[in-house]
Amino acid sequence: MKNARLIGFRLLLAALIIPGSIGAQAQIIDSRDPQALTIDPDTEVIYSGGRVGGLIAGVGNRPVVEMTAARITTIYGDGPGVWSYEWRKTGEYYESLADGQLQAGDAELAKENYTRALRFYGIGYLADHFTPSEKRAYARFRDVMYKINDLLEYPFEVVEIPFEGHTIIVHLYKPKDIDNPPLVLYTGGTDGSKETSENATQGLASRGVAVAAFDLAGTGESLDWYTRPDSHKLHKRILDWFEKSGEFDFSRVGLIGGSFGGYYAVQMAAEDKRLKAAINHCGLVHSAFELPTAGVQQRLQSGSGAMLRSAMRRMGFDPDNFDTEAFEERAEKDPFSLVRRGIVGTGEITIEIPLLTVNGGNDAVVSLEDMHMVNAAAAKGELWIMGRAPHCAGRQMDTIYPHMLDWLVEKLNEE
């Protein structure tokens, strides 16, 4: 069995010895990047403290997170010591706790612990959502969301949309007592999902806006499609479906996309005339896709390696057995770069609708130049830079996100 080294805990993990051929103490680094995951060529996976630190912030229980992490020795297999298994078991504890609280009539506390379970299951299936054990963690992640849904002020209904011989699963949130509301599409990134959209979905529904949340191609419940430059075909299909339903005001349609979802938000803003406004939250643009092939392995070992590894899986590549020739061939024939696709960086206005771009100013994946190129391509663009925060400025979102939603609703309601 291959071994994993986990980096980043300054407390408990400093004493963790990884068994196997390496036989070394886990290296400790202090990474503030909540997305950071690196690949050690001598072993397998290194998770930074920032990534798990983000989980600590999310669940509010440092001892439980650290005790779970201390049991982890590998990412392979399924059983004690395996990354996905250990997070899954902790999630099961909180789910069971919430079940009892709900039965006792304490819905508020039950929702709190179901949400903790969701977060633990979520960390268990990331970054790859690939191994059988990771898939089991994802199944629990998905299923506990249905329990949370019963406790939301604005619950979702599941809409199944047939497309290319498969089915797109959409969570549709509707505001109360509003006929023909505006509609916003919502997607996260390659390691985001429709289940972790509460800030957007509840926030918009409370503002009188319906939200259709779904997974990007290659992620979550959209694994029947690989991520490609034209994967906003899912967005278009969903818009077609809801437009035909006649239930929504299609003069007021918006879109929010985070990380890789932001990439498609920019494309949709340029191409789909049904949109009235869009938010590009830390969307990939150009530099992330122009990495020389020779540098891919190095990037996989960097602080942004988690996102690259996950993105490669979503595109149909195996990051553990990287096919350089196939990668180069696809990049040449069908580039992801929005500059090479003529959407930004042309010196011309390609986006006519209001477009808000939001990100941290110290993003290792999306450069400041990339963000400025997107803003320059929009006739009605706005650019919000969150100081020197990393990718997506996660620590600032509790403060900033309500303002982002207000901006979008304001633009949708403009005459």
- Alpha helices for 319-383 (secondary structure H): 324-333, 368-377
Query: Which residue is listed with tokens 């403009």?
Result: 414
Let me know how many helices (H) and strands (E) the chain has, helices first.
13, 10
Query: What's the pLDDT band for 410 if we cut at 50, 70, 90?
Result: very high
Map out the domains of the chain as residue ranges: 12-144, 158-413
Query: What's the pLDDT band for 359 if we cut at 50, 70, 90?
Result: very high
Q: Which of 105-114, 283-292, 320-329, 352-361 has the lowest mean pLDDT?
A: 320-329
Query: Which residue is listed with tokens 């980043």?
Result: 8
pLDDT, tens only, 29-55: 333 333 344 334 344 444 445 555 565
pLDDT, tens only, 196-228: 999 999 999 999 999 999 999 999 999 999 999
pLDDT, tens only, 269-295: 999 999 999 999 999 999 988 877 777
pLDDT at position 276:
98
pLDDT, tens only, 335-349: 999 999 999 999 999
Query: Which residue is listed with tokens 């930074």?
Result: 48
Separation of alpha carbons 268 and 358, rounded Å? 17
Do residues 307 and 216 lie in contact, with contact meaning Cβ atoms separated by under 8 Å? no
pLDDT, tens only, 58-103: 666 778 888 887 888 877 789 998 889 999 999 999 999 999 999 9
* pLDDT beyond 90 at 22: no
* pLDDT beyond 80 at 1: no
Q: What is the value of pTM for the model shown?
A: 0.86
Right CATH number for 158-413 from 3.30.1490.20, 3.40.50.800, 3.40.50.1820, 3.90.650.10?
Answer: 3.40.50.1820
CA distances from 198 to 141, 389, 404 (A): 14, 22, 14
pLDDT, tens only, 148-199: 999 999 999 999 999 999 999 999 999 999 999 999 999 998 878 999 999 9
pLDDT at position 254:
98
Do residues 284 and 339 lie in contact, with contact meaning Cβ atoms separated by under 8 Å? no
Q: Per the structure block, which two tokens stand in for 69?
A: 């992490």
Percent of the chain residues past pLDDT 70, beyond the cut: 83
